[in-house]
Structure 1
């Protein structure tokens, strides 16, 4: 193995805490339930659609997937929910995890075979397929594992590829007119919020934002080479960007936001929140926040 190959392998399989994977899986499977039950992915009503409108995607052609039926849609919908509930308990992590991946992915496919393919949901499939490969991972398992590192790295790569390839698609299909035309103005007019309509009075700002979006997407890969501190700030920047998009044109890339959690030390954030909650509870009960013992008389 050459030095370059060894470096790539160490980067792909850099050991990561198992508890981080456990926390990310909890978020991923919880989102599956929210997506199916609350967000109402469009696949749920395609069971009643005329099969004549079914146009199988490449995956459907390869796997010979049939047109949707009411029974199939209901099985996939509630199968996603049931398997996700099991997976959230940590039991049978591989079987339950891959069952979620199959049910949810097929459920999304039903919607995509009758219309637009949402790229944020396409990359979410990567997380569903990779996270079960880690096997057993408890919420308080501080051990580090190469399998955990590879799963997290794969999710990270898929998330960033979504940004980078999105900019490539903009340039490939829209050309430089995407950044030099009224792309965001049209989006605000078509589905903008009252807040977004305020920007119609300053179209030059929307024009500038189009350049900023493409530039940020083209440079998204730099998240892998910057120091950890700035990596976390970059993730925060992407979250703020998505919040602004939702505030102006009411578009949210919910699955993608969950995947970006793979860049963060979730176990550290959890411990900080628990420490603050316990300290606040201790102060409320008149205890020493550090030891949870009664404070001495006259203290403070």
Structure 2
């Protein structure tokens, strides 16, 4: 009998959605996300703990809470989630048990957001961060400084990028859907400056037509945001830098930060290269 030669099984090349990235990039992004969660609890949204004593009649659960039949906030639930999430997020930032602790961070933070957003106001700047927290545990272990390419890491960062772009694009669509084309020439930005404007915002308010012009710019920016997913690397970094500049201007004029969204935006950036240059350790990663 002749020798039978086994036919090699072709390796499936990950597509655009799973384009590999260095594991070191994932490790840094994970630290950034988990440390922000801890900071969010104690610095940016400490007011959520006040919902522990709010009358239950004011609780209007968001859709996911209704679907999952989540309980109404009580002092035990709110304070329990706070302390558990703070501890788990800090340990998860060390890279230990990435799947277990990462999954726990996502579930606890999602519950924290349900408690935060079920009283009449829902912030859309949390979407990208929540997607990142859901995706990061799927990567598993990722070491700092590792240049090993990872399709799982690429997927986690890519879906976060998609969530970031969806946040912009759907915000623009919502303006048109609920405000109509008149949103472009309305007084939305004027009201924002009058309510919470800084000295810089007051200066802008004094220039006739400038705030209306800014509304045209905001709409164009939001609806065109998907372009960032398809341009070359250098152009992508320039566009993301423009995103950060946009948020800096918004904060400087009307003190709105979108910090969770900006953390999620870091999924576009070669964090390992930035850290290597900062520490004076050149990297050969080109992904």
Runs of 4+ more than 3 Å apart: none
Deviation at 1:71, TM superposition (A): 1.1
CA deviation map 1:103-145 (0-9, x unaligned): 1111111111112111111332101000111000011221011
Q: Does 1:215 align with 2:220?
A: yes
Matched residues in 1 for 2:199 and 2:31: separation? Answer: 35
Offset at residue 41 of structure 1 (A): 4.2
RMSD: 1.3
Counterparts of 1:74 and 1:168, CA distance in 2: 37
Is residue 108 of structure 1 aligned with residue 113 of structure 2?
yes
- SS of residue in 2 equivalent to 1:135: coil
Kept after mapping to 1: 8 A contact 2:128/2:161: no
Distance 1:58 1:225 in 2: 33
- Asked whether the equivalents of residues 48 and 115 of structure 2 are also in contact (C-alpha less than 8 Å), the reply is yes
Provide the residue aligned with 1:171 in structure 2: 176
Task: Give the match for residue 52 of structure 1.
Answer: 57
Give the length in aligned residue pairs: 270
Partner Cα separation in structure 1 for residue 69 and residue 248 of structure 2: 39
1:32 corresponds to 2:49: no
8 A Cα contact 1:155 1:259, kept in partner: yes
After TM superposition, give the deviation of residue 264 of structure 1 in Å: 0.7
Which structure 2 residues correspond to residues 209-248 of structure 1 after superposition, within 5 A? 209-248=214-253
5+ residue gaps, structure 2, are: 1-11, 282-287
Runs of at least 5 residues in structure 1 that lack an aligned partner in the other structure: 1-5, 277-300
Deviations 1:232-266 (A, max 9, x none): 01011010100000000000100000011111111
For the residues of structure 1 that align with 2:207 and 2:252, how far apart are their CA atoms?
17
Aligned residue among 73, 92, 98 for 1:93: 98
TM-score using structure 2 length: 0.91
CA contact (8 A) 2:127 2:163 kept: no
Q: Give the distance between the partners of 2:208 and 2:106, measured in 1 at CA.
A: 42
Between the aligned partners of 1:146 and 1:40, the Cα distance in structure 2 is 34
1:219 alignment partner, SS class = helix
